[in-house]
Structure 1
Amino acid sequence: MRYYPASRRPSRLKASLTVGILALFFGLQASSALAKAGNVTSWDYLQPDRDQVIASLNVVELLKRHHYNKPPLNDARSAKIFDSYIEMLDPSRSYFTAGDLAKFEASRHDFDNYLKNGNLEPGFAIYRLHLERLQGRLQYALGLLEKGVDHFNFTIDEELLVDRKNAAWAKDLAELDDLWRKRVKDEVLRLKIAGKDSKDIQELLTKRYKNQLSRLDQTRSEDVFQTYINAFAQSYDPHTQYLSPDNAENFDINMSLSLEGIGAVLQSDNEHVKVVRLVPAGPAEKSKQIAPADRIIGVAQSDEEMVDVIGWRLDEVVKLIRGPKGSVVRLEVIPASNAPNDQTSKVVAITREAVKLEEQAAKKSILNLQHEGRDYKLGVIEIPAFYLDFKALRSGDKNYKSTTRDVKKLLTELQQEKVDGVVIDLRNNGGGSLQEATELTGLFIEQGPTVLVRNSDGRVDILADEQPGAFYKGPLAVLVNRLSASASEIFAGAMQDYHRALILGGQTFGKGTVQTVQPLNHGELKLTLAKFYRVSGQSTQHQGVIPDISYPAEVDTSEIGESALPEALPWDSIRAVHSEEMNPFTPFLAELKARHETRTGENPDFVFTRNRLALAQELSHETTVSLNEEKRRAQQESIEKRQLMLENALREAKGEEPLAKLERQDEAAPHGEDKKGKPEDDAYLAESGRILLDWLGLNEAVAKNSLPKD
């Protein structure tokens, strides 16, 4: 979601900053080469240039003046920048030694001064040593592979620490050698257990390391600058980012949807590229072959050879995945549903296409339920995104598409069909137009504020529904999950604060900040300049919207969501603008929850989701793996047996034939997410309908008992 306040000042600000910066540059050239003559390496060509120095000073000034929090650039910030930079370069603590860190630590509290003075050399010097260390590690790994993968002894008892986030730094290069011996041995064993023979393993790993080694030689000064400045920018919050000229162009392409892709939001995850979320109605989402938290390890164009992308930069992987409309891209993916050490992958083929607005449009269906001896008919409106056809609106087209217009039409049709209530399905809705979130809220409330936007100066802008009267006044529930974000959270929060709907499902994403893009002399800066608040004064940031009745999470909330991002801004609150009214749901919530728990305690889909997540979380706490093949296979078989038991318990409860072994069905939709079936088959949707009917029944019973008697 992009929100531009009335007082946007990019061009004037840019001009005023650059005037003073030009003079500074020439005084900094002398300090831009701290490497001494005796320490020249093959990476000495990586030096900051004039444009980068000016851009860095621009970024310092923009963050100082316009970031939402306006935190000081001081020693405390310097320490955060230092830690963030080291984390970016060596997240698994596998390249630098304790001696390297000791040298770096001497400058821990100096990066604020370096940045204020436009001195980029210290950041470049650390990056150059990182490249030197990485080159050494890759050469060492290739040396091991030259001996042949069969020289590894998988009968001895050894373990590899795989969760190295808090591991001690290797004391010297010899200790790093031992760590990398185990890393290569682990990769060989993973591939061996996945069914590859020695020749294929040798070829794949040799090619992978050689490719990574050759890519080091392609490192540009811009790569160093972008990483270093982002360590600085993202110490403020995860959505504040420097975009290099190339990435700025990619960002503009993404916003305009002028280049086709697969419709997936990706991020770096150590040496892998991880799927964060799928764009509603995009090619990946429609394929049902990819899910959030899946890891992409290979990319191929149509029938061409698969390119191993482990260890590649995110922007390079994105370029491979993008392509012209109608072309096919094949992705090799390790599913998130795999056990942590299960590297078994699948190859999926996706046809690239632009996401069409009409495919993201709201849709309606009828949920037929029998409840307490009666047949009920509930309307369901699925909203994949908050959309608005700005082009058609500006051209004066009276039939322009928008979420609110489409939902209003669907509500009219549902009321004509005499539904007993309505469920708004916002699952996986990542947001969109702020205007539409406000206008959609207006369909369900009488009148009043819908969301507050607080800027860095403390000014609060109130967005409101100015139209008197609600369009739909009937019973309403809103279904959300962890991937409901931004505009979805604004709408769900307003429905909860106005006591207009029961909010059901999972805790939402927690994206409650506003960004704008500021052009620089070199690239762009995307910075956080405001925060969203509900009419109750509560922020949607970090915490998201907490449902009135919660369902089992389908993804690990510690891995997906705003709270999982480093340096995420905290939840807070400001003065409410909507006076608290009597909540019609409060007297019944305890009973509604009790009935829900009774109903879903043995519901196959709910049981399966709970148990699958519990198993995944249990396995995620395992920090080491055995390098003994017998033990590793036994562990893998135990995990697969438990996964098979969960799957078969679900199948048997639904009257389906149990599986003899765990199948990896590339095209199977996750349980409870196949929207192509009947609405009644969607366990979460059906349960939402039953909760709404429970409330209707309880409310009617109270109304009858409160009527005066003759």
Structure 2
Amino acid sequence: MTRFTIKPLLTGLVLALLLVVGPVQARYAAEPEHEEALLDVISALQQNHYSGKKLDEKLSSDIFERYLTDLDPSRIYFYQSDIQEFEPVRKEIGLEILTGNSETGFAIYNRFHQRQMERLEYMLEVLQDESHSFDFNTHDSIETDRTEADWVKTTDEMNELWYKRLINAMISLKLADQTVAEARETLIQRYENQQNRQAQTNNEDVFERYANAIAHEFDPHSQYLSPRNQENFQINMSLSLEGIGAVLQGEDEHTKVVRLVPGGPADRAGQLSPSDIIVGVGQDAEGPIQDVVGWRLDEVVNLIRGPRESTVRLQIIPADSIDRNARRTITIVRDKVRLEEQAAQKRLLELQRNGQPYRVGVIEIPAFYIDFTAMQAGDPEYKSTTRDVEKLLEELKSENIDSLIVDLRNNGGGSLREANELTGLFISRGPTVQIRDASGRVDILGDFDPKVAWDGPMAVIVNRLSASASEIFAGAIQDYNRGLVVGSRTFGKGTVQTLLPLEHGQMKLTHAKFYRISGESTQNEGVEPHILFPTLFDEKEIGESALEGALPWDTVNPVRHGRFPSLSPFLDELISRHQARITHDPDFAFMNKQVERSREQREQTQLPLNINEVRALRDEVEQWQIDTENQRRMAKDEPPIRELSELDELLPTDAQGRTINPEAESILMETAEIMVDFIDLHLSQTAQATGRIVNGN
């Protein structure tokens, strides 16, 4: 591996780099404070990051690729000639970074800015030419996934690509009932807004983007925050204060929902989901929808945020939509997150099996929370996940439950302390999680309290959005054989981040990694349930393994720990009974059809540019959804629907006013059935064992 040797004089090298990358429109340039900031960034990453990476020629080349991908992921701005001009600095850019010099990063960005403005000018020129007639009946198509496409070679080729993007955008607007004139005006406003936003970009923005390309090459959770974004970090990335309670991120020219804040307005409304794309925002019940494609993330956040009890309308592309051009408008009333709705809650499910009643307790945990301030102040009533769950368990035990379900679906994590202590409620004592830092030192957390709050049969439900602390808890329950884990593979976030203040901004970097007591990391691969349920979450799109540059799965030495009796003797029969049951379950049949259809649609990356073909595809998709929904409804003796919009009015709500998702409810009820199966099989095994003892005597 080639390591760099830092030389005292680099003026000639820097000049050579600038000559290679030029000529460009030198709109942006590094400022004096950026030299020290870049030195601090690379020093923090090399000295403190878990990966132990050092800035050698290979990492230099990787940063080069990362920066180009970050700027132009769909390869729709840079020409092949641009890339060829940049190529000589590929293995040298790291040496520049080590000296605090970011001029090549700025030079590449200046070329990107030049190409971006050329594209916007081209689109506006076409749109503003009133004599230009658009043909929506061609036999052309457009590739929707250009991440592996060749770089564009000529201006004519680039114009053809962007003209196809323009036709596609106009078809989408026309199918949303806009006239050609209205679609023209919408797109003119969109591209003029993007021009204005580009004009607002400053040197600090460019430096932050370059520094983040460097940080992301270490792992996707490491990040540089400029002084402005350092101050606004929580507000910019979360709408939990006087907003809708959603965490957002920018993705290409769109705004994507990362997760919903438990107990927030969006979570309670039940209409917004992770991976939904927000394309428009409207104020009040009747205000016009403002197109936000191409907007900066903080500007979209500011548009969505507003006074408590006011209304915001979002035009979204649903994550689970089979038609990726579909648009749906949802209404959310802004509010503060209700802390009491983030707290653990209980339910009691009553089932019948062969005339025998069973009572299954459910504890839903939206997040792993603790009120550190109240705890440190000595408040004996301070709230925490473990304390609340322990109280709920006492209430459920007084209701004579036969088994317990801990529901961790959509729980993105939280307090590591609480994940550890919650595990302790279900085991007498022992280790719960291992943490290895960048130096290789492994710390072991565990439960040292012999008290057990529940020693009966239990299951844990997880899904792709169960992450971090949720994975630690579910992994420990699985490693101890303490209970069944059901659902879908978890997110796979097994890394720990810390904030390091810098003279100019701050760094968030990954400094440690979680490992199960079995020695396996939760990183990247997550926790695989004993029994898998269907899921619409695409692992290629959602989860740690979907993040480019994510740290790999690996292992450390296992920790000695006790185990409950093995679940293996029961698993085959539990899975067999489960499969037999869901074969005839309308909701599971519906989910399986949705999963298969969604997979087929994702494989179709060519989109026609003929409005009649697109309309036919959309109508076919909508009719398929209506037919599939009605097959489920008829199987459940429910009245059929004529339009998908009718479903919003038909979905039931719980006691807290939250919308109940029928698929989510079916998964919960099926888990309860599995617990009854488990009790039945366990009792049968006990009876057989008792019979053998009697016969042996």
Cα deviation code 1:155-185 (max 9, x no counterpart): 2211111211111111111210111111111
Cα distance change, pair 676–247 in 1 and its aligned pair in 2 (3 A): same
- Residue of structure 1 aligned with 2:318, choices 305, 324, 335: 335
Report the residue type matching 1:689 in the other structure: A
Superposition pairs of residues 19-418 of structure 1, within 5 angstroms: 31=14, 44-148=26-130, 151-253=133-235, 259-302=241-284, 305-353=288-336, 355-418=337-400
Q: Is the 8 A contact 2:21 2:107 kept in 1?
A: no
Q: Is the 8 A contact 1:149 1:201 kept in 2?
A: no
Structure 1 position 443, deviation (Å): 0.6
Cα distance change, pair 661–305 in 1 and its aligned pair in 2 (3 A): closer
- Which range moves more in the overlay, 172-181 or 251-260? 251-260
Cα deviation code 1:362-399 (max 9, x no counterpart): 11110011123311111111111111011111111111
The match for 1:18 is: none
- Which range moves more in the overlay, 554-563 or 593-602? 554-563
Structure 1 position 149, deviation (Å): 9.2
Identity of aligned residues (%): 47
The match for 1:599 is: 581
Q: Is the 8 A contact 1:283 1:351 kept in 2?
A: yes
CA RMSD of aligned residues (A): 2.8
The match for 1:709 is: 694
Cα deviation code 1:403-440 (max 9, x no counterpart): 11111111111111111111111111111111111111
Cα deviation code 1:670-692 (max 9, x no counterpart): 99999666999921111111111
Report the residue type matching 2:33 in the other structure: D
SS of the residue aligned with 1:224?
helix
Cα distance change, pair 680–344 in 1 and its aligned pair in 2 (3 A): closer
Q: Is the 8 A contact 1:274 1:295 kept in 2?
A: yes
The match for 1:615 is: 597
- Which range moves more in the overlay, 297-306 or 443-452? 297-306
Q: Find out whether 1:478 has 2:460 as its counterpart.
A: yes
Q: Is the 8 A contact 2:474 2:485 kept in 1?
A: yes
Report the residue type matching 1:645 in the other structure: D
Q: Is the 8 A contact 2:524 2:545 kept in 1?
A: yes
- State the alpha-carbon separation in 1 of the partners of residues 270 and 388 from structure 2: 26
The match for 1:6 is: none
- State the alpha-carbon separation in 2 of the partners of residues 189 and 146 from structure 1: 17
Structure 1 position 306, deviation (Å): 3.6
Structure 1 position 348, deviation (Å): 2.4
The match for 2:3 is: none
Q: Is the 8 A contact 1:348 1:666 kept in 2?
A: no
- State the alpha-carbon separation in 2 of the partners of residues 491 and 530 from structure 1: 18
- Which range moves more in the overlay, 57-66 or 626-635? 626-635
Cα distance change, pair 573–421 in 1 and its aligned pair in 2 (3 A): same
Report the residue type matching 1:693 in the other structure: V
Structure 1 position 668, deviation (Å): 7.0
- Residue of structure 2 aligned with 1:546, choices 516, 520, 528: 528
Q: Is the 8 A contact 2:430 2:562 kept in 1?
A: no
Cα deviation code 1:497-526 (max 9, x no counterpart): 111111111111111100000011111100
Structure 1 position 150, deviation (Å): 7.1
Cα distance change, pair 438–29 in 1 and its aligned pair in 2 (3 A): farther
Cα distance change, pair 657–498 in 1 and its aligned pair in 2 (3 A): same
Report the residue type matching 1:688 in the other structure: T
Cα distance change, pair 427–193 in 1 and its aligned pair in 2 (3 A): same
Q: Is the 8 A contact 1:97 1:171 kept in 2?
A: yes
SS of the residue aligned with 1:450?
strand
- Which range moves more in the overlay, 570-579 or 530-539? 570-579
Report the residue type matching 1:299 in the other structure: V
Cα distance change, pair 658–258 in 1 and its aligned pair in 2 (3 A): closer
SS of the residue aligned with 1:516?
strand
Structure 1 position 331, deviation (Å): 2.2
- State the alpha-carbon separation in 2 of the partners of residues 671 and 99 from structure 1: 57
- State the alpha-carbon separation in 1 of the partners of residues 623 and 250 from structure 2: 31
Structure 1 position 304, deviation (Å): 5.5
Structure 1 position 105, deviation (Å): 1.5
The match for 1:562 is: 544
- State the alpha-carbon separation in 2 of the partners of residues 677 and 277 from structure 1: 18
Report the residue type matching 1:699 in the other structure: H
Structure 1 position 669, deviation (Å): 6.0
Cα distance change, pair 137–255 in 1 and its aligned pair in 2 (3 A): closer
SS of the residue aligned with 2:644?
coil
- Which range moves more in the overlay, 324-333 or 430-439? 324-333
Report the residue type matching 1:52 in the other structure: H
Structure 1 position 313, deviation (Å): 2.4
Q: Find out whether 1:700 has 2:689 as its counterpart.
A: no
Unaligned runs of 5+ in 2: 1-5
Cα distance change, pair 253–188 in 1 and its aligned pair in 2 (3 A): closer
- State the alpha-carbon separation in 1 of the partners of residues 230 and 151 from structure 2: 35
SS of the residue aligned with 1:627?
strand
Structure 1 position 401, deviation (Å): 0.7
- State the alpha-carbon separation in 1 of the partners of residues 355 and 325 from structure 2: 48
- Which range moves more in the overlay, 267-276 or 327-336? 327-336
Report the residue type matching 2:642 in the other structure: A
- Which range moves more in the overlay, 247-256 or 402-411? 247-256
Structure 1 position 327, deviation (Å): 4.1
Cα distance change, pair 158–554 in 1 and its aligned pair in 2 (3 A): closer
Structure 1 position 637, deviation (Å): 2.1
Structure 1 position 32, deviation (Å): 8.0
SS of the residue aligned with 1:312?
coil
- State the alpha-carbon separation in 2 of the partners of residues 77 and 186 from structure 1: 38
Structure 1 position 621, deviation (Å): 1.2
SS of the residue aligned with 2:445?
strand
The match for 2:437 is: 455
Q: Is the 8 A contact 1:605 1:671 kept in 2?
A: no
Q: Find out whether 1:663 has 2:648 as its counterpart.
A: no
SS of the residue aligned with 2:185?
helix
- State the alpha-carbon separation in 1 of the partners of residues 630 and 149 from structure 2: 39
The match for 1:682 is: 665
Cα deviation code 1:425-472 (max 9, x no counterpart): 111111111111111111100101111110000101111111123221
Cα distance change, pair 530–704 in 1 and its aligned pair in 2 (3 A): same
- State the alpha-carbon separation in 2 of the partners of residues 324 and 663 from structure 1: 28
Cα deviation code 1:340-366 (max 9, x no counterpart): 44242314233132x232221111110
Report the residue type matching 1:312 in the other structure: W
How many residues get paired? Answer: 686
The match for 2:425 is: 443
Report the residue type matching 2:305 in the other structure: R
- State the alpha-carbon separation in 2 of the partners of residues 50 and 697 from structure 1: 72
- Which range moves more in the overlay, 569-578 or 259-268? 259-268
- State the alpha-carbon separation in 2 of the partners of residues 178 and 480 from structure 1: 46
Structure 1 position 305, deviation (Å): 4.7
Cα distance change, pair 598–665 in 1 and its aligned pair in 2 (3 A): closer
Structure 1 position 603, deviation (Å): 1.0
Cα distance change, pair 666–111 in 1 and its aligned pair in 2 (3 A): farther
Cα distance change, pair 584–264 in 1 and its aligned pair in 2 (3 A): same
Report the residue type matching 1:602 in the other structure: H
The match for 1:425 is: 407
- Which range moves more in the overlay, 243-252 or 416-425? 243-252
Cα distance change, pair 667–659 in 1 and its aligned pair in 2 (3 A): closer
- Which range moves more in the overlay, 255-264 or 610-619? 255-264
Structure 1 position 261, deviation (Å): 2.9
Q: Is the 8 A contact 2:197 2:296 kept in 1?
A: no
The match for 2:629 is: 647
